[in-house]
Structure 1
Amino acid sequence: MLKAFAYRIYPTKPQLKGLEEHLNRTRELYNAALQERRDAYKKTGRSVTAFEQMGSLVEVKEGRPEYRRIHAHVLQGVITQLDRAFQGFFRRVKAGEKAGYPRFKSKDRWDSFHFKQVWDNSRDNWFGPGKPVGSNRIRLPNIGDVRIKWHRPLAGRPKTLTIKRDGEHWYAVYVCEVEPQPLPATGGEVGIDLGVNPNFLVTSDGEFVPAPHYYRKAEAKLRRQQRVVSRRKRGGGGRKKAVAALKRLHRKVRNQRKDFHHKTARKLLEANDVVYHENLSAKAMSRSRLSKSILDMGWGQFLNILYGKAAEAGRRVVGVNPAYTSQICSGCGHVQKVPIGKPYECGACGLVIHRDVNAALNILRMGRGVYPSADGQGLPLGESGEVAHARRPQKPPALAVG
C-alpha cells in the first residue's frame, strides 16, 4: 500500500529563491500547455496528447534557458498533472456531472511541484531527487541540500516526492510503498453515527465523542483578520502580511481538525475489527442550513483517514445506506419520526434510548447484513446482497431484529 510522509523543510534565502523559481516556471508551463490544448482543439478539432507535449519539452529548454535548471521529472510531472485534469473533465462529462473545464492557475493556486521518481529499482537505492545527504538534509536538484526535520522515520520504499508550500512553510511529502501492519484482532464491531452538535460521533456502545468546533472557536479571530485584509491596499506589503496572518489562522484550524480526526480514527480501529458508518454525502449536505457546522466537522476527511488507517491496520470499514437509521427502533423495528435533540421513545415497545445511540445500533445491524460478522448475527440479505431495507422504499418496512 502507499502512504504519505510529510516533513517540514527549512530552506535558506538562496534556496527559497530557487523554490519560488520552480513554482513560477512550472505554473507558467502548466498554463502554456493548457493554452496549447485549447488552441489545438479550436483550430483543428483534435486534442494534444501528454506524450506529444512531453516530447516538446526539449524545444522549450532550447528556447527558454531558465527551464534547463529544472529537473526533467518536474517538467514531466506538470504535463501529467494537466493530463489528469483533462481525464477528470472528460469522465465527469461522460457521467453527466458538472464538468468543470481545467482552468489557468494563478500564483495563489499553484503551491507545489513534483518529482515522479526518487528510487532506482534497478540499483535498489535512492535515485537523486530528495536523497538524504546527512542526518538533517535532503538533496533537491538545482536547489541544493535543504535542511529537513525528520520528526518520524521514513518507512518503506519512497516512490515520489512533492515539494509543497503552505503559507510561509515548506514541506517535503514522500509517498512510500509500505507493508501493512495489522493490529491484533479484538473481535469487536461498532456502528458510528456522525453528527455536528453536540457530538462529533456516537457509537453503538454508547460512547460519545464531543464535537470540537475548531472553526467556530476561531471564527471571531478569522473575521477580524479578514477585515484587516480588506482594509489593506491591493498589491501592498501590508496586505501581503495581513494575508499571511490570515493563512496562519486557517492553517491552525486545519491542523487541529486533522489531528483530532487521526486520533479519533485510531482509537476506533484499535478497539474494533470492523467499523460501520452511514454513506453520507457531505458535499450535498453542506448545501443545507447546517453547512458551516458540517464543513467544520470535516466528515469527508475523517472517513478518508479512517479508511486509510483501516487498510494499514488490517481492519474493515463498511458504509451502509443511511435511510431510516434514526427512525427505526433498535429494539423492535417500529418506525417513527423523532425530533432532533429528543430521546427516542418507541411507541410500540416503549424503549427509551438516546436518539444517536439508537441510530448507531441500527447502523451496526445494517452493516452486519452487508458484511456478515463472525457470530453470524445481523439482518437477512436480499437477492442483491444488500439489506432488505437498505434502499429507500415507499413505505419503510419493519426492521428484523435478531
Structure 2
Amino acid sequence: MTHIENITLKAFKYRLYPTKAQESALDTTLILCQRLYNGMLEERRGAYKKAGKSLTAYDQMKSLPEVKAALPEYAGVNAQVLQDVAKRLDKSFKGFFRRIKAGQKAGYPRFRGRDRYDSFTYPQPSQNSVIGDGKHVYLPKIGNVRIRLHRPCAGKLKTLAVKREGREWYVVLTCEVPRAEPLPATGSEVGIDVGTTWFYTTSDGEFCENHRFFQRSSRKLRVAQRSLARKPNKRSNRRKKAKERVAKLCRKTARSRLQLHHEEAKKLITNHDLICHEDLNVKGMAQGNLSKQIHDVGWGQFFQILSSKAAEAGRRVIAVDPRFTSQRCRICGHTEKGNRASQANFRCLSCGHSENADVNAAKNILAQGLRFVAQRTSQEDACHEKPQPAGLG
C-alpha cells in the first residue's frame, strides 16, 4: 500500500513533426477510429432498441476480427488502438448512466464528426517508445515520428495518446512517477481575492496583472470570424482555411492564459504553505453582464491548477465562502454594502478604517481560512478543502 501511495501519474505533452506520409497515416487512423466509434455507437443503440440488450466494451472488442475481415483498411490500425475505441465509448455510456443516477443533465453519447474526433490512444505502449536519440517516438503501424522533447520524460510509460490540434500533432505520454517530496515549509499564509481589474490581489498587498488575452486578440479574431462568415459553402477549401485561422487564434489565446495560470500558481505554491481563495460559482457568474471578462480571466482553470500543484507540493489550498468578504471590515468586522466606497477603495462606516478594497477582501479571505484550519480536528495535507459557509461575523 505504501508503494502505491508513493506513485502518481504525470502527463507529458510534446509536439510531433510527422512527414507527409506519416501525417497521412495519422489522419487515416483518426478517420477509421471515428468511423468505428460511430459504428459501435449505432450497434449499441440498435441492440437495445431491437432486443433490449446492453452491449459492453468486451462484447464489441470480440467483434473486431470480423470488422478487420470485412474492412481490410482496418488491418493498418494497431489492434490496441481499435480496442481503446470500444473502451472510450463504454466510458461515455458509464458517464451517461452515472449522471442519470445523480439526477444531473445526462447527455446521451453522440455520433462524432471528423472535426470532433481528434485523438487515439495506445493503452499499452512499449517502454522504448521514445527512441534513444530523444528525437523520435515510435507509433506502431505508423513508424518513428519526429518529436520535440522540450522537457525530459521520466517514469514508467503507461499510455501514449496522439492528438491533433488544428494542423498540429501532439503526443501525450502518461507516466507512472514517484510522488514528489513536499516543499520545505515557509511559515507563510496568504489569501487571494480574484477579479477582472486585477487577476488576483493577495493579503500581502501584491497585485497580479490581468493580461486580458482574449481582449488583446479580439480585433484579429473579429476580422477572422467575419471572413469565415462570408464563406457559407462548408465544403470549400477557402472556408476550411478561414476556419483554421479562427481556431489558431483561439488556441493561442487559450495557451497564453494556461501559461499564466501555471506560472502564477507555481509562484504562490512556492512562497506560501497555505493559500485561501474564494469558492466562486464561476459558471453561474459567467452568465451575467461580465461573462466575457470572466471567461477571459479563467478563474476555474486557475483554481484547478493551483489545487493540483498544491497536492504535489504538500501545500494546502482552502476555498472559503465568498459572501460579504468585500463588504466586511477586517479591523472591526462591520459588514455593510456602503463600506466599499468604490471599486478600488474600502472605508468602514463604523470605525473609519481605510484600505484598498481588494487587499481588505483578501485579508478577510485569509482570516476565514485560518479560522477553518483552527477548527479542524484532523489535518489533511495538500488538499483542496471547502469550509462551511460563515455568517456575517
TM-score in same-fold range (> 0.5): yes
One-letter code of the match for 2:278? E
Measure how far apart 1:301 and its partner are: 1.3
Which position in structure 1 is the counterpart of 2:149?
150
Does the aligned pair in 1 maintain the 2:212–2:296 contact within 8 Å? yes
Counterpart amino acid of residue 276 in structure 2:
Y
Of 346, 357, 371, 1:369 maps to 371
Whole-angstrom CA distance in 1 between matches of 2:259 and 2:174: 20
Structure 2: which amino acid aligns with 1:250? C
Alignment deviations for residues 264-299 of structure 1 (CA, whole Å, 9 cap, x no partner): 111111110111111112112111111111111111
Map of 1:243 onto structure 2: 243
Task: Give yes or no for the alignment of 1:391 onto 2:389.
Answer: yes
Structure 2 letter corresponding to 1:224: V
Superposed CA offset, 1:166-193 (max 9, x none): 1111001111122214322211111111
Give 2:315's aligned residue.
315
Specify the alignment match of 1:26 in structure 2. Answer: 33
For the residue of structure 1 that corresponds to 2:201, the secondary structure is strand
Alpha-carbon separation, structure 1, partners of 2:79 and 2:386: 50
CA distance in 2, matches of 1:21, 1:373: 58
In structure 2, what is the equivalent of residue 294 of structure 1? 294
The 3 A distance-change label for structure 1 pair 267 and 99 is same
CA distance in 2: counterparts of 1:386 and 1:263, whole angstroms: 24
Q: CA deviation at 1:386?
A: 8.1
Alignment of 1:250-265 (within 5 A): 250-265=250-265
Once residues 342 and 137 of structure 1 are traced to their aligned partners in structure 2, the CA distance between those partners, rounded to angstroms, is 53
Are the structure 2 counterparts of residues 373 and 189 from structure 1 closer, same or farther at C-alpha, using a change threshold of 3 Å?
A: farther
CA contact (8 A) 2:193 2:278 kept: yes
Q: Which runs of 5+ in 1 are unaligned?
A: 120-125, 375-384
Contact 1:343-1:353 at 8 Å conserved across structures: yes
| 1:103-118 matched pairs, under 5 angstroms | 103-118=110-125
Deviation at 1:339, TM superposition (A): 6.0
Instruction: Give the 5 Å matches for 1:141-290.
Output: 141-179=140-178, 180-196=180-196, 198-232=197-231, 233-290=233-290
Q: Could you tell me the percent identity over the aligned residues?
A: 48
Tell me the matched-pair count: 374
Corresponding position: 1:65 with 2:63: no
Deviates more, 1:87-96 or 1:135-144: 87-96
Q: Secondary structure at the match of 1:182?
A: coil
Distance 2:320 2:367 in 1: 10
**1:309-362 alpha-carbon deviations (Å, 9 max, x no partner):** 222222221212222222222112111113661422112222112221122112
Sort the Cα spacing of 1:351 and 1:80 in 2 relative to 1 into closer, same or farther, 3 A. Answer: same
Select which of 48, 51, 54 maps to 2:55: 48
Normalising by structure 1, we get a TM-score of 0.88
Question: Does the 8 A contact of 1:133 with 1:145 survive in 2?
Answer: no
Q: Does 212-221 or 233-242 show the bigger shift?
A: 233-242
The whole-number CA distance in structure 2 between the counterparts of 1:291 and 1:339 is 24
Contact 2:279 2:386 in 1 (8 A): no
Residue deviations 1:209-257 (CA, integer Å, cap 9, x gap): 1111000111011010111112223211211221222222111111111
Q: Contact (CA 8 Å) 1:307, 1:317: kept in 2 or not?
A: yes
Letter in 2 for 1:105: R
Pick aligned residue for 1:76 from 68, 76, 83: 83
Deviation at 1:373, TM superposition (A): 9.7
- Give, in angstroms, the shift of residue 364 of structure 1: 0.9
